């Protein structure tokens, strides 16, 4: 019996050639509509769909069954876990992590009979934000840099940078470091130390926490970018 050979269509061939020449990877089961921008090193896995006019940076990962709508802007090194839909109106800065099956929204009061395409709300995910598994982000808000949304939370309001948010509706339960470790109470000088990195943090004005050792947008030194101790062993130290 002659071996069956799958012949790629011209469109598939062009898509494949384009991704290869631009240095990103698209799994054969994924769809990428044109035109759109995808940075080098980015990987788009099984059954995902990138719609036209999406703009995606370098070294991102889109897991299985991820959808990125038209006009969405995504920075570099963004990790999107399985089953996430990123709707028009989302602006996702560098180093954001979107956990599995988390839900983003873009209309606050959807009704099937009313067309609100021109009214999509903007939702901003600042540098380094983490959204936990199955959390929901109600649209029109801003999640501050390195904020951390716990699994299953429903976020309805702006979130401060480095805030750890939990529950339904989400409330701030503390501050959390860039390394994702809750920060303990400040010392007499107002300093909170991340037990993983040793970096110092301070609430420099009410509600505004800054890292005193590294600019929020500076890359981590490679040695500080690998986890070696478990969360439970570090927490509360």
Ligand X SMILES: CC(C)(COP(=O)(O)OP(=O)(O)OC[C@H]1O[C@@H](n2cnc3c(N)ncnc32)[C@H](O)[C@@H]1OP(=O)(O)O)[C@@H](O)C(=O)NCCC(=O)NCCS
Q: Are 22 and 40 in contact (CB under 8 A)?
A: yes
**Complex with ligand X: residue 116 or 235, whichever CB lies closer:** 235
Concatenated DSSP letters of 177-234? -TTS-B-----TTSEEE-TTT--EEEEEETTEEEESSS-TTSPPPGGGGS--S-HHHH
What's the token pair of residue 49? 């769909």
Nearest approach in angstroms of CB 135 to ligand X is 7
**Complex with ligand X: residue 13 or 173, whichever CB lies closer:** 173
Three-state SS string over 46-62 comes to CCCEECCCCEECCCCEE
CA nearest to 66, candidates 95, 110, 114, 26: 26
Nearest approach in angstroms of CB 156 to ligand X is 15
**Complex with ligand X: residue 167 or 198, whichever CB lies closer:** 167
**Complex with ligand X: residue 133 or 141, whichever CB lies closer:** 133
**Complex with ligand X: residue 114 or 226, whichever CB lies closer:** 226
Closest residue to ligand X: CB criterion? 132
**Complex with ligand X: residue 135 or 200, whichever CB lies closer:** 135
229-234 CB contacts, 8 Å cutoff, 24+ apart: 229/196, 231/180, 231/181, 234/181, 234/195, 234/196
Nearest approach in angstroms of CB 166 to ligand X is 5
Residues 6+ apart with CB under 8 A from 8: 16
Nearest approach in angstroms of CB 129 to ligand X is 13
Instruction: Classify residue 155 as exposed, middle or buried by CB count within 10 Å of its CB (0-12, 13-18, 19+).
Output: buried
Nearest approach in angstroms of CB 82 to ligand X is 10
Residues that bind ligand X in the complex, under the rule CB under 6 A:
99, 132-133, 150-152, 166-167, 182, 235
CA nearest to 145, candidates 87, 99, 96: 96
Nearest approach in angstroms of CB 43 to ligand X is 17
């Amino acid at each position: 019996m002659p071996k069956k050979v799958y012949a790629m269509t011209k469109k598939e061939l062009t898509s494949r050639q384009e991704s290869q020449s631009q240095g990103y990877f698209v799994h054969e089961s994924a769809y990428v509509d044109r035109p759109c921008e995808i940075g080098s090193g980015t990987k788009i896995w099984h059954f995902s769909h990138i719609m036209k006019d999406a703009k995606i940076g370098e070294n991102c990962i889109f897991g299985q069954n991820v959808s990125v709508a038209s006009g969405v802007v995504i920075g570099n090194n963004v990790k999107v876990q399985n089953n996430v839909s990123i709707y028009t109106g989302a602006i996702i800065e560098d180093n954001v992590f979107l956990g599995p099956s988390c839900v983003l929204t873009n209309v606050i009061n959807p009704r099937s009979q009313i067309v609100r395409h021109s009214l999509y709300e903007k939702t901003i995910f600042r540098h380094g934000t983490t959204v936990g598994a199955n959390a929901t982000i109600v649209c029109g808000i801003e999640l501050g840099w390195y904020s951390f949304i716990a699994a299953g939370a429903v976020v309805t309001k702006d979130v401060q940078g480095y805030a750890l948010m939990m529950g339904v509706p989400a409330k701030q339960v503390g501050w959390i470091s860039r390394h994702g470790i809750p920060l303990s109470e400040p010392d007499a000088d107002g300093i909170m130390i991340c037990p993983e990195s040793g970096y110092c943090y301070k609430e420099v004005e009410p509600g505004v926490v800054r890292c005193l050792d590294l600019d929020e947008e500076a890359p981590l030194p490679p040695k500080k970018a690998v986890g070696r101790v478990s969360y439970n062993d570090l927490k509360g130290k």
